[in-house]
A and B are shown apart, each in its own frame.
Chain A
Amino acid sequence: MPVTLNAARLSTIRGRLLRMHFESGVGHIGGNLSSIDALALIFHEFMGEGSRFVLSKGHSAGALYVALWSAGRLTDQDLTTFHRDDTLLAGHPPATGIADIMFATGSLGHGLSLAAGTALALRLKGEPGHIYCLMSDGEWQEGATWEALIFASHHALTNLTVLIDHNGLQGFGGTADVASMFPLHDRLKGFDVDVHVVQGHDLAAIRTALNANASKLKIVVLQTIKGKGVSFMENKMEWHYLPLKEADYLRALEEIDGS
């Protein structure tokens, strides 16, 4: 297992994420910065023998790649190919070619079913291993996600942990304004699941929630900030899409380094 994650390492990870996006001229930064803490924590501390991960919010592929890099599962050279021709590091996770990525995602609403199927398969085979699935909050507007929740809850998949990057912003508005399910954790509690609500940039809080014993499906709602760590990106919807200009990049790096 890689080293325990701490704030200094997280700053390095954020900086590498920004550099990768800047050098590739690619957006989707806001949702990567909101989810990178939990992603990095999972790959540094929780992906034990037999564990598997599904990125349901496939548009945060950049954060996944950098988390894998930080955990020693991708190289720095790999990251330089991000979003370029002839790369394995596509804008959304690839179907093949990277051992830690089981499924090509990007169309929202698939990941929880894929994670649930994987968890049930391991149970039927009598194999150990835990499945982690990171979802977006807007993704809960997809009907298939609720199908998956019903299924995972019904089968009491205790070898599956669902994390939700609840940053409150989606493609063309705030989740509370577009199709509100606020408070999301209360909606989820209506199912027979263990719901934990934690500050999504507090490593200790996330760690505690992930380590908590569960007798049913566990869902960790991460209360996050889109663009976390870069003041001019925080809670700004445009950073769901925009690529970084050089001045933005340098300013963002300064903020990350100074944090």
Chain B
Amino acid sequence: MRKQLCDALVARADDPSMVFLTGDLGFMALEALQTKMGPRFINAGVAEQNMISVAAAMARQGLDAWAYSIAPFCYARPFEQIRNDITFHRLPVRLIGNGGGYGYGVMGPTHHAIEDYGVLLTLPNMRVYAPVFDEDVGDVVARAGANTQSSYIRLGRGEPPAGYAVPAYAAWRQLISGEGPPVVVMGPIAGTYIDVVRALPESRRPNLWAVAELPLSLSPPPPALLDQIESSKHVLIVEEHVAQGGLAAAMSLYMLERGLYATVKHLCAQSHHFPRYGSQAYLREKSGLAPQALLGAIGSLN
């Protein structure tokens, strides 16, 4: 999604109030943005704490501040700077973390981001965007850029099957319809399930939903999904994130608070550390997030 990100930001950079800060990352990805922005493109160096506070101060001066790094270096290293300097002051800094979930695969757990939005959503005034498809990035940049709140964009890579017609961006999208129970998936991993889900007979095929925004207080689940949960009494929630603080926890509370009682099954990132390293697909499989595991979980709902 970095190419789409760069394209969207280049288009936005005509606005002279925009500033972009990177923690020394973006090689072979953000050069066009650097060229376009000149001194407003700031390589803040390998110093993420400073970068985040600088971005906060720039936003305080009315600039449209974006700060970019590999995801954990964007939210985990400078967490206190995000908390104190950005969110306590209700500043609309847009954080961009590349490589959400196990996106950095065999690079190892220091580079993974499987607790990012859970941690960040504990903060006030924070909004999370997890584009599902590459085509979503432009819309997400526009929405985060129009947001008066602080934003975190969790970038991954779009993974729809070849030839898939990506639906127009929305915080909640139903990708596939069926007569089975609803399956709700956060972020781009949803694309990896499209083929196996649509191959199921209609009577067992779930309603597959993709979620791109949190928290639920600002991007609530649509009535159609709640109706499906109500009628099936089951919902399967999938996310490349640890269980604590994730979508499933938020959805469960959301449902209970409204008297919507259903069995929640949850597939999620199982560990920061496995005995061996591997690709994003390998780590998803170890976490029970591979497409075949999804089919097993769907089967267990009935």
Binding site for B on A (CB under 8 A): 95-96, 102-105, 107, 109-110, 113-118, 120-122, 124-125, 143-144, 147-148, 150-151, 154
Contacts and interface: CB of A to CB of B under 8 A. Distances in A.
A106 to B, nearest CB: 8
A144 B53 contact: yes
Contacts of A116: 50, 54, 57
Interface stretch (B41-49, B194-202, B237-245): B41-49
A124 B21 CA distance: 13
Given A120-B58, A124-B19, A144-B81, A113 B63 contact: no
A124 B57 contact: no
Contacts of B204: none
B233 interface: no
Given A120-B58, A121-B63, A125-B63, 13 more contacts: A103-B56, A103-B60, A104-B84, A105-B84, A113-B50, A113-B53, A113-B57, A115-B57, A117-B56, A120-B54, A125-B62, A147-B47, A150-B50
B179 interface: no
Contact of B50 (A103, A105, A107, A148): A148
14 contacts: A102-B57, A102-B60, A103-B56, A105-B84, A113-B52, A114-B85, A117-B54, A117-B57, A121-B57, A121-B63, A124-B63, A150-B47, A150-B50, A151-B44
Contacts of A110: 53, 80-81, 84-85
B84 A107 contact: yes
Contact of B39 (A109, A117, A124): A124
A124 B54 CA distance: 13
Nearest to B44: A151
- The SS class assigned to the B binding surface is helix
B63 A143 contact: no
Interface in B52-79: 52-58, 60-63
B45 A150 contact: yes
A122 B58 CA distance: 8
Contacts of A96: 89
B261 interface: no
B277 interface: no
A253 B91 CA distance: 42
A255 B45 CA distance: 50
Given A113-B53, A144-B49, A151-B45, A118 B84 contact: no
A96 B189 CA distance: 40
B36 interface: no
B274 interface: no
B61 A148 contact: no
B40 interface: yes
A118 B61 contact: yes
Residue of B39, B45, B53 with most chain A CB atoms under a 10 A cut-off:
B53
Residue of A143, A148, A151 with most chain B CB atoms under a 10 A cut-off:
A151
A150 B45 CA distance: 9
Given A102-B60, A103-B60, A121-B58, A95 B88 contact: yes
Contact of B61 (A95, A109, A121): A121
Contacts of B88: 95, 104
A150 B81 CA distance: 17
B298 to A, nearest CB: 47
Residue of B47, B55, B57, B88 with most chain A CB atoms under a 10 A cut-off:
B57
Contacts of B62: 121, 125
A193 to B, nearest CB: 16
A146 B56 CA distance: 18
Contacts of B89: 95-96, 103-104
